[in-house]
Amino acid sequence: MKDRMIIFTCVTTIIGFMIAVQFQTTKEPEIRDTRNLLELRQDLTSEKERQAELNLEIEKQMELLFQLQQTEDVEEVMTNAISELRERAGLTEVSGQGIVIEVTPIFDENYSSGPIRSVPAYLVRMLINELNINGAKEIAVGNQRIVSTTPIREANGVTLINSSRMAQFPLEIKVISDDPEGLHHAMMSSRSKEFFAYENLSLESTPINYVKLPSYDKALRVRYMETVKEES
């Protein structure tokens, strides 16, 4: 009887150990902060920048609020605010100095594939990213204005921007920027030029004093945003 209990005890000890090990294995591993000093500093700097941006935004909103409280004619201030927001959302035509990028197919003598119908979507995305990195303020591809929710996708071999077919060649991409020269040089030496060349497309950019961008003409689809109910 005593032997039996000892055997049971040994077995239960082993089972307990196995259960504990299994429990520890399936438990989520703790996430350690493994950033080094440099990464921490970088993160700190980016957070500080973000804070500064947010502060600026708050200041702006406070000013607007102050204006609204001060002026008798609230309507005008509100109209101004709305038109500014519309402009920022890309719902108005804008013009200014910038660059015009022209995309044309190039056929060298060794070219043997089929016709080139449109610029692949990934190249358009890449180009837009590079433009934004290099300080573009507003972008329009063909007749389509690029806003924050613009979809760029490919369907049946045709690239769609804002759900409409991309303009035919030569494709004009109009960009507004504060520093057209700088943007022009950046684009001419950019990686996207190289990648366009792989697809037999040439990319030519010219700085221009006055360029007019069309407005975004589709309905803006707002998801993940709700109106805030005013606390009374």
Partner 1 sequence: MWLPFIGLLVGLLLGLFTDFRVPDEYSSYLSIAVLAALDTLFGGIRAHLENKFDEKVFLTGFFTNILLAAGLAFLGVHLGVDLYLAAVFAFGVRLFHNIALIRRTLLDKWFSKEKRPAKTKEDN
Distance CA 140, CA 215 (A): 9
Whether residue 94 contacts residue 138, with contact meaning beta carbons closer than 8 Å, is answered with yes
Q: Which is nearer to partner 1, 10 or 65 (CB)?
A: 10
Q: Sheet holding 171-177: strands in order across?
A: 144-146, 136-141, 171-177, 94-105, 201-213
As measured in angstroms, the least distance from the Cβ of 31 to partner 1 is 16
Q: Which is nearer to partner 1, 25 or 36 (CB)?
A: 25
| 3 lines the binding site for partner 1 (CB under 8 A) | yes
Distance CA 51, CA 65 (A): 21
Q: Which is nearer to partner 1, 15 or 82 (CB)?
A: 15
| 26 lines the binding site for partner 1 (CB under 8 A) | yes
| 28 lines the binding site for partner 1 (CB under 8 A) | no
Q: How many chain residues touch partner 1 (CB under 8 A)? A: 24
Distance CA 114, CA 199 (A): 12
- Amino acid found at 85: L
Distance CA 102, CA 176 (A): 15
| 30 lines the binding site for partner 1 (CB under 8 A) | no
Phi-psi label, residue 124: left if phi above 0, alpha if psi -120 to 50, beta otherwise: alpha
| 129 lines the binding site for partner 1 (CB under 8 A) | no
Q: Which is nearer to partner 1, 4 or 229 (CB)?
A: 4
Part of the chain binding partner 1 (CB under 8 A), chosen from 4-12, 33-41, 96-104, 201-209: 4-12
| 85 lines the binding site for partner 1 (CB under 8 A) | no
| 19 lines the binding site for partner 1 (CB under 8 A) | yes
Part of the chain binding partner 1 (CB under 8 A), chosen from 17-25, 70-78, 128-136, 215-223: 17-25
Residues that bind partner 1 (CB under 8 A): 3-26
